[in-house]
Structure 1
Amino acid sequence: MLENKCLNEKDKIFHDKDIFLEDYKDMNRNFKIYAYPHNKDDPFAHALLPVDFEPGGNYASESYFKKVLMQSHFITKDPTKADLFFLPFSIARLRHDSRVGVRGIPDFIRNYVSKIRQNYPYWNRSDGADHFYVACHSTGRSAMEKAEQVKLNAIQVVCSSSYFLSGYIAHKDVSLPQIWPRQGTPPKVALSERKKLAFFAGSINSPVREKLLQAWRNDSDILINEGRLSTPYADGLLESKFCLHVKGFEVNTARIADALYYGCVPVIIANHYDLPFSDILNWKSFSVVVATLDIPLLKTILNNIGSEEYLKLLRNVLRVRKHFKWNLSPVEYDAFYMVMYELWLRRSIVRFAISGLFESHQNEANVSKSM
């Protein structure tokens, strides 16, 4: 009985579907965000306002989120009704601004937050605990070097969500899924056409990927491709049962979303990755996690997954992939709404923190009066 219960729990794609669905409805009705306003004539309007085109590229998640949020019913113009406050600077756009660049981003953020603190009362009342920003490029997490309060207090919604590094705090911060935008309906491929066991393609830019290449470069069942492919990338995803997400410079890449889109079971080889939507989704039900130390055992691990277990993983891949899709007009339970729900979960923590802060200040004031 206990074994069957464990198997059933592993089959569920949600940790607790009933609680999620009920709380999601509450979020949709009541969640309010105040975005600090900026004019089109601002010198950095291109980095502070949403893009006026459909986002693309490897870091599109950041632009999609802001563009959709600013058009959504979650935005309020009355800051007294806001649960959270959005700092709308775009790390992706500041990186390519010759006036700022990667090295100048920490100064830009420090000056920006300083102006927010001077012009609005909301940051100071919580030390930024009810504020958040969004960034997909890894520079976003390290851009707070000169704005310590942002890093320690504000909610960082970032793709580079490694809880091994000091710049990211799990449960306070949010893991943003890195997704390469794709249009249209995902292709349907019969399992019988997936002849290869596993597939990876990409730069060998980390010790983990080097280890993968050394172990499996000459294997006929596990295809490891270094650099650019001579055939379409999608073919490798469609021809394989498992698709490998392997840590590079950071724990995150768009490969998990790629695998889900093409109906390939993702295999995650990236220690300390705080996986997107892990508060909501049961990753064991639609993916395989392999420790980097076990790369030499990869083939054995995958071959030991029986056909029945694999079919369950595959069915769940097809069920969860809608949660990893960005839409310009948001669709219920898509990537935008899932990120919003993660923020919704954190607003209660923020309120507790703010309440504690106020109580601390009040106690200090009472002590001062008694003296």
Structure 2
Amino acid sequence: MANTTRFLYSLTHRRFSRSFRSFFFIPTSLALVTSLFILLYIFTTSTLFFSNQKPSILHLNQPLSGSSSVSQINIYNNTRNPFVHVSNVSRLNENDRDGRESQRSLWPQSGSSDGLYENNEVFHDKDIFPEDYKQMNRSFKIYVYPHRRNDPFANVLLPVDFEPGGNYASESYFKKVLMGSHFITKNPAKADLFFLPFSISRLRHDPRIGVGGIQDFIRDYILNISRKYPFWNRTGGADHFYAACHSIGRSAMEKSWEVKYNAIQVVCSSSYFLSGYIAHKDACLPQIWPRKGDPPNLALSKRKKLAFFAGAVNSPVREMLLHSWRNDSEIFAHSGRLKTPYADALLGSKFCLHVKGFEVNTARIADSLYYGCVPVIIANHYDLPFADILNWKSFSVVVSTIDIPLLKKNSYRNKF
């Protein structure tokens, strides 16, 4: 009996030892072989090891002589299939009768003979958008929480009774135009959305509130409407929205997390790098500096500067721009205010640089379009206005911050 027991123990011990060794050896071998295959695949297919990409290039595809249109700007990114941005500023053609139409936008497309396809439409889909817009224009309704003219904070909650001006006029214009539109309904049962009418900009300038009191005001306002009306509590604010253009709006909701994470934020500072902005929920409000009269017009052949920027050097991006181009004869990069009119510099330039400062947004894009120069947007993570509708590639150039020193290369010099 003892011998039998000893035999069974010995057999079991040997089997266990072999199984134990196999338990570690086989998976380890498989993992090693699999890792080698993965490394081989990455080595042969990825651009991490080998790269022959072209640097970023800013140039025109047609010589200036004989043409008044901005023909094409090529921005090659560090990707296997570099893309091409094309700007088409039609107003530049109006003063030059011999000017030709700007070349159409080109983008890579697999299977085509040259790897590019035409894309010159302002809208991503010009056939679908009008139908969607007609339906929205016909049926979309918004309920605005009502406030009397004798309300202590009527200056904050009601639309202004004057023409807005200044760098943050978009916020006041938005509310002024919306409140006078046919989208407004007094019947909340018919409303698709609910508008929170407070103005961040006017709260900032109200001596009773100021920058330090904005968060408390918003918190109390949401608390009041949630107690007085049932609409906020139905959805937790998901069908509510507000508009703000001043950068202080980013921190205005710190004591009202349900506004930040549930409500729709229509803001100028639309950076999807920031946690407070949620791109699929929130929307970008275009920032404009109101200007009166018809836009001025100057032919491309009379615009002597290649590119222009002037402003405070309040970000690493602007520091890089000034460091790279401060002493350049064709790209005019200036720190601070100009001694000459800002409008003259915009009007005399072919390209106008929108460069990130404290925020991704400034009014420079709207300024560029007004004065007929091509916007060059250098602001990483900027969720551009109406990007789901407008094809920004058809009338602007988007440049990564890292490509600032490469704005001018050999191919550019051959064209100017």
- TM exceeds 0.5? yes
Encode CA deviations 1:271-321: one digit per residue, 9 max, x unaligned. Answer: 0000001010011111111111111101239938979xxxxxxxxxxxxxx
What is residue 241 of structure 1 aligned with on the other side? 350
What is residue 281 of structure 2 aligned with on the other side? 172
What is residue 108 of structure 1 aligned with on the other side? 217
Q: Which one of 279, 290, 311 corresponds to residue 181 of structure 1? A: 290
SS at match of 2:269: coil
What is residue 65 of structure 1 aligned with on the other side? 174
What is residue 330 of structure 1 aligned with on the other side? none
SS at match of 1:7: strand
Are positions 1:7 and 2:124 aligned together? no
Identity %: 75
**Equivalent position amino acid for 2:173 in 1:** Y
Q: Please say which of residues 280-289 and 150-159 is displaced more in the overlay.
A: 280-289
Q: Tell me by how many angstroms 1:2 deviates.
A: 2.4
What is residue 158 of structure 1 aligned with on the other side? 267
> Which residues in structure 2 correspond to 1:199-278 (within 5 Å)?
199-278=308-387
**Structure 1 residues 304 and 109: CA distance shift in structure 2, 3 A:** farther
Counterparts of 2:193 and 2:397, CA distance in 1: 35
Q: Which one of 256, 259, 262 corresponds to residue 147 of structure 1? A: 256
Question: What's the Cα RMSD here?
Answer: 1.6
Encode CA deviations 1:123-150: one digit per residue, 9 max, x unaligned. Answer: 0000000000000001112200000000
What is residue 64 of structure 2 aligned with on the other side? none
Counterparts of 2:264 and 2:327, CA distance in 1: 44
Counterparts of 1:5 and 1:220, CA distance in 2: 35
**Equivalent position amino acid for 2:265 in 1:** Q
**Structure 1 residues 302 and 268: CA distance shift in structure 2, 3 A:** farther
**Structure 1 residues 124 and 240: CA distance shift in structure 2, 3 A:** same
Counterparts of 1:7 and 1:185, CA distance in 2: 35
Q: Tell me by how many angstroms 1:27 deviates.
A: 0.8
> Which residues in structure 2 correspond to 1:286-305 (within 5 Å)?
286-300=395-409, 303=412
Counterparts of 1:100 and 1:287, CA distance in 2: 39
Counterparts of 2:199 and 2:388, CA distance in 1: 26
Q: Which one of 16, 21, 25 corresponds to residue 125 of structure 2? A: 16
Counterparts of 1:158 and 1:67, CA distance in 2: 16
Q: Tell me by how many angstroms 1:177 deviates.
A: 0.4
SS at match of 2:118: helix
Counterparts of 1:92 and 1:164, CA distance in 2: 23
Counterparts of 1:14 and 1:217, CA distance in 2: 36
Q: Please say which of residues 234-243 and 125-134 is displaced more in the overlay.
A: 234-243
Contact 1:141 1:156 in 2 (8 A): no
Contact 1:211 1:295 in 2 (8 A): yes
**Structure 1 residues 301 and 289: CA distance shift in structure 2, 3 A:** farther
Counterparts of 2:190 and 2:197, CA distance in 1: 18
Counterparts of 1:111 and 1:4, CA distance in 2: 60
Counterparts of 1:25 and 1:301, CA distance in 2: 48
What is residue 195 of structure 1 aligned with on the other side? 304
Going by fraction, where is helix more abundant, 1 or 2? 1
Matched residue pairs, number?
Answer: 306
SS at match of 1:172: coil
Counterparts of 2:234 and 2:117, CA distance in 1: 47
Encode CA deviations 1:246-276: one digit per residue, 9 max, x unaligned. Answer: 0000000000000001110000100000000
Counterparts of 2:185 and 2:413, CA distance in 1: 52
Counterparts of 1:73 and 1:3, CA distance in 2: 50
SS at match of 1:85: strand
**Structure 1 residues 304 and 272: CA distance shift in structure 2, 3 A:** farther
Structure 1: give runs of 5+ residues left out of the alignment: 308-371
Instruction: Please list every run of at least 4 consecutive aligned residues from structure 1 whose deviation after the TM superposition is greater than 3 angstroms.
Output: 3-7, 304-307
**Structure 1 residues 29 and 306: CA distance shift in structure 2, 3 A:** farther
Counterparts of 2:361 and 2:286, CA distance in 1: 8
Counterparts of 2:361 and 2:301, CA distance in 1: 30
Report the TM-score, using the length of structure 1 for normalisation. Answer: 0.80
Are positions 1:91 and 2:200 aligned together? yes
**Structure 1 residues 275 and 109: CA distance shift in structure 2, 3 A:** same
Q: Please say which of residues 278-287 and 292-301 is displaced more in the overlay.
A: 292-301
What is residue 247 of structure 2 aligned with on the other side? 138
